Structure formats: C-alpha cells, structure tokens
Amino acid sequence: MRVAVLASGNGTNFEVIAERYQQHALSGELALLFCNHPDAPVMQRAARFGIPAVSFTVKECGGKEAYEARLLQVLQDYQIDFIALAGYLRVVGPTILAAYPNRIVNLHPALLPAYPGLHSIERAFEAGDAQTGVTVHYIDAGLDSGPIIAQAPVPILPTDDLATLEARVHEKEHQLYPAVLKDVLTQLENEEEK
C-alpha cells in the first residue's frame, strides 16, 4: 500500500502520520505529500522526513479540471493506492474520486454532520456549544458528507478561548487520525492479500 497525504497548510497532522511511518506503526509506505500551496510549512516538514513532495496550484493549471487531471497523473506516477487528507482545503473532485473509490479519508475538526466546511472549531465555539470534536470519514462528492469512520468528542470548557480550544482539538486529531488510519490500512491490506 502506497499512501499519499494531501495537505494545504501547516502540516501538523502530516507530521504525526510521518512519525508513525518512521516508527513502522502504520501499514504500507508514505510515498508522497501533495500540497496545493507551494510555500506552505508542510513542504518543509516533508523535506525533513525525506518524503517526496509535489506542489502546484489550481491557478497555474488553468482551472479545476486541469488541476485534478494533473494531480491524478502525479498520484499514478507515484503508484498511490490510498489517500489521506490532512488539512487539504479543497473539495476533491470527480476525477480523483472515480480513481480512488473508498480509498480517500479525511480528518475534520468537528463532530459531523455539524459544522462541515471551513472554520468549524470557531463556529462551534461561537455557537456556545458544550462540545465539539473530531471526525474521520471517507470522502464523497459532497462537502464533508462521506461515511463516518470514527469520531471523538472534545468538550468546550467555560475557561476556553478559541486558541485553547483549537489546541485541544488538534491534540485529539493527532490521537484519532493515526489510530483510524492504522485500522483502515490494515483492513485494506488484509483484503488485498485474500
């Protein structure tokens, strides 16, 4: 199983996944990081781990369709079997979805179906909710609407401000995502061996 991580920003979840691969705690091989922002800090994280990284923008491809076609070519060039989204701030389009059915998972900082899309932690905090959390789910054509694999709640404390809540949500992400990836990848590997 050759795994690609798609990310857009800082890359803390990518780093946690890369560390698990270094410890041989996840099945397969972390073969590629793709980032749609060439200057994002996640690119430096990939370099530190010695993981191949590719980056280009929708704009430089001339539009979404050309971008997806180019991304699919990169995934095929690296012989990718499975995709983990880690802070990838784009909707995955039909070209990639069709090529990787039930082989793309996403990490979302809310208890879906609540707060799909951007600024989920902020929206839960501003709504005065008692809790928020983290969801790992398969990707489909909708916005954060694919089948849920696992969720973990994070209480919103009376003493929280947005920064402390975000820190606790990220901490929960760093626990839940590698554990779920381990289960999903092991299950896929077992199915392929049959």
Known binding site: residues?
A: 11-13, 64, 106
Q: Give the tokens for residue 21.
A: 């691969």
Binding annotation for (6R)-10-formyltetrahydrofolate: 64, 106
Q: Give the tokens for residue 73.
A: 């070519």
- What phi and psi values does residue 86 have, to the nearest 5 degrees? -135, 85
Alpha carbon of residue 119 to chain centroid: 15
**Nearest CA among 181, 172, 167, 141 for reference residue 154:** 172
| Count of Cβ atoms closer than 10 Å to residue 167 Cβ | 11
Instruction: Tell me if residue 108 is catalytic.
Output: yes
Residue with tokens 């499975």: 82
Find the catalytic residue in 24, 37, 108, 174.
108
Omega cis (within 30) before 113: yes
The catalytic residue positions are 108
